[in-house]
């Protein structure tokens, strides 16, 4: 027997849950199919537990500066297992909250692995379900390179399974996952090496951010090695060693973290049976309305390959429900001006165009404002960490098209500025805003 719904959502991550719950508010009979813990990557092996680890590392940073303010504080070590136990309890509570939210909205939770039978029918471990509309929201997973011994390392998923902190650790990769987790390891006392394929980190972001975070990482004691092309990972008597194509060997390490990108979680979905297209990297391409090439099948979140951020998946899922079921025909997510934060040490906040992108689009009709300073927090410290900010404007009216910040507090200050920038704020609007003193954020409204 086939059970019929109005809507089937494949995946219980941020985007899928947001869409199903919003659809239910419009009276839609919806079900979510999930074979793992609710909340997807973000809640279980991403944003949420990562932020807990970042806070932990920040505490070490603050303790190190406590003496500058007259406190007699001694660091007596850190209990990783206790931290993990508390973090895991917190995540379990969130899983239960998500389940409760579905129940309150009368969205059915179907446990199992989804597989298309035809464009309207899904098999879940031998049970069949059908719907007029189906949304693919199965997310992604971290890539493990195909090279000898790769299984000796671990990914960002495995990072959260670690029962103890490795004393010597290598992080392979140059993106935000690499930068964030390397900062956590280093902040908690691991001898940390970051191995990057080219010459810099965060290469898809504004150049200032990548250059400055590299300086901060090296100043903090992280070793960065460039032009590393891994060939094999070997276990030796001393530990793990990474063998490179140019003959160099790095190690020994107690742990090696692969942070080389993510792939779409579509294996086993049997998308071919539904006629759903995939791109060369396996992602499910969608148009501006989250539609796949099959009219009644949509996709949201990381599985689409578009801006892999939890708030993006949530926003896309809710807007899709508004359009399909709420009568909002023009409702969709605008991907052009999305703020994001990297929880490095110090954190990074960024929105809009990089300087290079702005020059390509506007040529000489753009302007860059920059500020470099040491925050007041370090006024009594010999060890100082500077903050850098950049505003990019376009046209005679100097509309702000990019804002990039690296420094303490960047993660919190960006949200409010992002609202203004998305609304089309001009440099004059920033200039006319009274500064809050003394803060780092005031620099964004006092640049000249």
Cite the active site residues: 437
Cα–chain center distance at 446: 30
Beta strands in 307-395, from DSSP E residues, in sequence order: 340-342, 348-352, 366-373, 387-394
Tokens of 289: 């309305």
DSSP for 330-347, please give it: T-----SS--EEE--SS-
Residue 300 DSSP symbol: -
- As given in the structure block, the two tokens for residue 369 are 């404002």
**Of residues 142, 114, 109, the one with CA closest to residue 128:** 114
Query: Phi-psi region for residue 424, left (φ > 0), alpha (ψ -120 to 50) or beta?
Result: left
| Element (DSSP H or E) covering residue 323 | helix 310-325
Helix axes 80-104, 14-25, angle to 10 degrees: 20
Length of the chain: 448
Instruction: Round to whole Å and give the CA distance between 312 and 321.
Output: 14
Whether residue 204 contacts residue 174, with contact meaning beta carbons closer than 8 Å, is answered with no
3-state class of 154 per DSSP? strand
Measured distance CA(187)–CA(348) in Å, rounded: 17
**CA 151 to CA 327: how far, in whole Å?**
50
Left, alpha or beta for 126 (phi > 0: left; psi -120 to 50: alpha)?
A: left
What CA–CA distances, in Å, run from 386 to 60, 175, 195, 347, 440?
Answer: 18, 22, 25, 12, 10
**Radius of gyration in angstroms for the set of CA atoms belonging to the chain, rounded to a whole number:** 24
Q: For residue 132, which of 21, 266, 28 has the smallest C-alpha distance? A: 28
Instruction: Give which of 274, 281, 320, 276 is closest to 300, Cα–Cα.
Output: 320
Alpha helices in 10-46 (DSSP H): 14-25, 40-45
- Taking residue 413's Cβ as centre, other Cβ atoms within 10 Å add up to 21
Answer for the pair 276, 292: CB distance below 8 angstroms, yes or no: yes
**CB within 8 Å of 42: residues ≥ 6 apart:** 13, 14, 48, 310
């Amino acid at each position: 027997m086939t059970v019929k719904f109005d809507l089937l959502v494949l995946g219980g991550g941020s985007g899928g849950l947001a869409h199903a719950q919003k659809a239910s508010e419009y009276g839609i009979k919806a079900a979510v199919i999930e074979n793992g813990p609710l909340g997807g990557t973000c809640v279980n092996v991403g944003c949420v537990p990562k932020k807990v680890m970042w806070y932990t590392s920040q505490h070490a940073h603050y303790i190190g500066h406590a003496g500058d303010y007259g406190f007699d504080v001694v660091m007596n070590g850190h209990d990783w297992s206790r931290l993990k136990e508390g973090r895991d309890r917190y995540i379990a509570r969130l899983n239960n909250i998500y389940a409760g939210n579905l129940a309150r909205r009368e969205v059915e939770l179907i446990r199992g692995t989804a597989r298309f039978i035809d464009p309207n029918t899904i098999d879940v471990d031998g049970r069949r379900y059908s719907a007029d509309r189906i949304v693919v929201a199965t997310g992604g997973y971290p890539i493990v390179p195909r090279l000898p011994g790769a299984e000796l390392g671990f990914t960002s998923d495995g990072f959260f399974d670690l029962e103890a902190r490795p004393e010597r650790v290598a992080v392979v990769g140059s993106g935000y996952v690499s930068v964030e987790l390397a900062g956590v390891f280093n902040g908690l006392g691991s001898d940390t090496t970051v191995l990057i394929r080219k010459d810099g980190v965060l290469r898809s972001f504004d150049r200032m951010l990548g250059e400055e975070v590299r300086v901060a990482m090296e100043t903090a004691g992280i070793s960065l090695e460039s032009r590393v092309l891994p060939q094999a990972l070997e276990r030796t008597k001393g530990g793990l060693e990474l063998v490179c194509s140019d003959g160099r060997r790095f190690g020994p390490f107690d742990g090696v973290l692969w942070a080389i990108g993510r792939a779409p979680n579509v294996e086993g979905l049997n998308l071919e049976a539904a006629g759903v297209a995939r791109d060369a990297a396996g992602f499910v391409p969608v148009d501006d309305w989250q539609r796949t090439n099959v009219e009644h099948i949509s996709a949201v979140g990381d599985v689409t390959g578009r801006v892999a951020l939890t708030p993006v998946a949530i926003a896309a899922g809710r807007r899709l429900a508004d359009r399909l079921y709420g009568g909002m025909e023009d409702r969709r997510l605008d991907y052009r001006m999305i703020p994001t934060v990297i929880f490095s040490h110090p954190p990074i906040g960024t929105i809009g165009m990089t300087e290079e992108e702005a020059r390509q689009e506007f040529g000489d009709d753009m302007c860059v404002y920059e500020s470099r300073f040491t925050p007041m927090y370090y006024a009594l410290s010999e060890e100082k960490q500077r903050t850098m900010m950049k505003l990019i404007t376009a046209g005679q009216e100097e509309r702000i098209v990019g804002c990039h910040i690296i420094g303490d507090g960047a993660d919190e200050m960006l949200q409010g500025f992002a609202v203004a920038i998305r609304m089309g704020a001009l440099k004059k609007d920033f200039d006319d805003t009274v500064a809050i003193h003394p803060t780092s954020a005031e620099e964004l409204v006092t640049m000249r």
